[in-house]
Structure 1
Amino acid sequence: MNDYYLLGRSGLRVSRLALGTMNFGLDGFHAPYGKTEDESAAIFHRYLESGGNFVDTADFYTAGESERILGRLIAKAGVRDRIVLTSKFTNTTDPGNPNAGGNGRKHLIRALDDTLRRLDTDYLDLYLLHTWDRITPAEEVVQTLDELVRKGTIRYAGLSDVPAWYAARAQSYAEAHGLAPMVTVQLPYSLVDRGIEAEFPAMAQSLGMGLTAWSPIGGGLLTGKYRRGADGAEGEGRFSTSAGARPVSDRQWAVVDALRDVAAGLDRSMAQVAVNWVATRPAVASVIVGASSPAQLDTTLASLDFVLPDDARQRLDEAGAPDHGGPYAMFTPRYQSWIVSPGLKVGDKPASYSPPTLNY
């Protein structure tokens, strides 16, 4: 997997598939899916052996155990300079303290200090706001992240799970004031969750932020382990009706059916095709993938070893096409004909074009 993209409009080179470590550890909210330190080590080392360099965690994952385990694994392997180590802040780690959560300056700096201690490192390569808190102004977040970049405790800054307008405000403010830019926006994206397409890809491309996609297999729905039953999804996992999950919609089942057919035709697993589709979408720089074992990780890492044929891509695109509604329905070729009369050629200037030189 020696294939790297620049992250946004930066010089930071990251693997096209990032290792998500939300399941490293057995504590906290993510404990039901957690792995022991030995199990986590096997997954981590397999990722490194494959050539991967982009590792993602957060202070909230397994109540801080993900960071502690990663810190020990990185130190033991002696790979701190090799990897792009990413963590995130927002969620509270002290429910009794009103300033121990959110995105304000006080919590942001405290959260970073705690993360560096747990990871046993003196800097992060990439630090992200984890979730929009609906309170903290983008300006305060950008100013604080810029101070941390200048201090050297983080190398790059970014955002995760924020509205497009908030990301655009943050980046525009950084540009206008010469502050450290946001190099990425981390968002959920899959064949069954395409809500970001209305705004984020175009915003990211225009403002120099590479998208980092999480949950590319739709929380497991796109792995093929579920079947449509009389009462809902049948199979072991979070979408199972027996587990009390929300019903899978007809549209989602249509995507699963199309994905199953495409994967069979390519002799690939459904999960591989789902990850490949996300990784090759506009503005996507990297896709975060998790694993429950080295063998599962090997299968996922092979997701970029093939090219989706045009007809297969078209079928997947159409099966999961979102209905964004107004005003986005107006931004289509059909409506463009109302703006510029058909037959008139209006578009970008050719590469050879240059404006006339003005001599004073």
Structure 2
Amino acid sequence: MNYKLLGRSGLKVSELCLGTMGFGTEAGWGADKETSFAIMDAFADSGGNFLDTANVYKLGTSEKIIGEYLQNHDRDYFVLATKYSLKDNQTNPNASGNNRKNMMRSVEESLKRLKTDFIDILYLHIWDDLTPIDEVLRGMDDLIRQGKVNYAAISDTPAWMVAKGNTLAELMGWSQFVALQVEYSLIQRTSERELIPMARHFGMTVTPWAPLGGGVLSGKYLRGEKGRIKPESRRLDDHSVRITQTVVEIAGELGVAPSHVALQWTTHQGFSCIPIVGATKVDQLKENLKAIDVKLSPEHLQKLDEVSKIDLGFPGEFFREEGVKMNSFGGFYDRVEKR
């Protein structure tokens, strides 16, 4: 694999991130420890070093499996990201949320499960709409100064709040968020309205979760010539079927799997992007890793953009309309290029 810098930091991470939400067999699904170890081995053998987990994944089992794995491998080779926010026990009213008390408790528990002295990247998992953003950033900065965390990041939070936080951090001399984790794929592009432009402005790397749309973009739900689908996914509708059919068509032209096309598309959108690829089987991971060798032509990208485009709303649509005159004084007019 090639390596990319994470946001405006000097941290080098692999061009694909391994999602470990499926490490553990709680809830009747997932990879057992032996399989999880084999998946991480295969990922590392391919040059992958970027691992993504969270305190709540498989009730903490994901972190425990990674921790046991790291005991017999080079900890410094791997860039380990975990998260805090969601409830991971029933001990007290502050066992969830973005507050400093939960942050500090969660990090200490994660360090124990991961059997490590430091976390490379700490994400706020999801915005609680309660905690002041300055409390979050000061807490993360304190953890960084203590050497327990190397970099701050944020996930599933409104763009205006992230922008406020990074601006405040810059003013106060605190560590800024270097990465933004959001759902993003050919069938989920609504983050292009505010979140992704914000990330681009601040030089943040976007780490999309569900870049294959929960498996929809792999084409596995398409059945028959008429594109009949199985109804169990909330992401399945007529629009996603049309998109997936286009992905499958391009994949056929290139002689690759549809998932390779869908993953590559996310990395060609004009901003720093490292998709998170989950796996519960070694063969599944190896298949997804083949995506790094796929080359999409400008024509392929245009076709995918057209079939999956969304209404950006105001002011996004206003800005990208051809011929919009952008001058408040009316003395000079310039054509605004299409997005």
**TM-score, with normalisation over the residues of structure 1?**
0.88
Q: Distance in 1 between matches of 2:52 and 2:156?
A: 15
- Alignment correspondent of 1:79: 74
Match of 1:202 among 168, 172, 197: 197
1:202-223 deviation line (CA, Å, top 9, x unaligned)? 2112112111111110000011
1:98-138 deviation line (CA, Å, top 9, x unaligned)? 10000000000000000000000010011110011111111
Q: Distance in 1 between matches of 2:100 and 2:54?
A: 18
Q: Distance in 2 between matches of 1:14 and 1:338?
A: 40
2:208 counterpart SS class:
strand
- Alignment correspondent of 1:354: none
Q: Distance in 1 between matches of 2:212 and 2:234?
A: 17
Question: How far 1:231 sits from its partner (Å)?
Answer: 12
- Alignment correspondent of 1:252: 240
- Alignment correspondent of 1:358: none
1:91-170 alignment runs, 5 A limit: 91-95=86-90, 97-170=92-165
* 1:174 matched to 2:169: yes
* 1:296 matched to 2:291: no
* 1:271 matched to 2:259: yes
Distance 1:346 1:264, change over 3 A: closer
Q: Distance in 2 between matches of 1:229 and 1:308?
A: 26
1:86 counterpart SS class:
strand
Q: State the superposition RMSD in angstroms.
A: 2.2
- Alignment correspondent of 2:6: 7
**TM-score, with normalisation over the residues of structure 2?**
0.93
Distance 1:179 1:335, change over 3 A: farther
Between 1:161-170 and 1:89-98, the stretch displaced more is 89-98
Identity %: 39
1:24-58 deviation line (CA, Å, top 9, x unaligned)? 0012xxx3431100111111100000000100100
* 1:315 matched to 2:303: yes
1:11-90 alignment runs, 5 A limit: 11-27=10-26, 31-76=27-72, 78-90=73-85
Match of 1:281 among 254, 269, 275: 269
2:178 counterpart SS class:
strand
Q: Distance in 2 between matches of 1:102 and 1:229?
A: 46
Distance 1:258 1:342, change over 3 A: farther
Match of 1:213 among 208, 214, 234: 208
Q: How many residue pairs end up in the alignment? A: 335
Distance 1:210 1:186, change over 3 A: same
Which structure is larger by alpha-carbon Rg, 1 or 2? 1
* Structure 1, gaps ≥5 residues long: 235-239, 348-360
* Structure 2, gaps ≥5 residues long: none
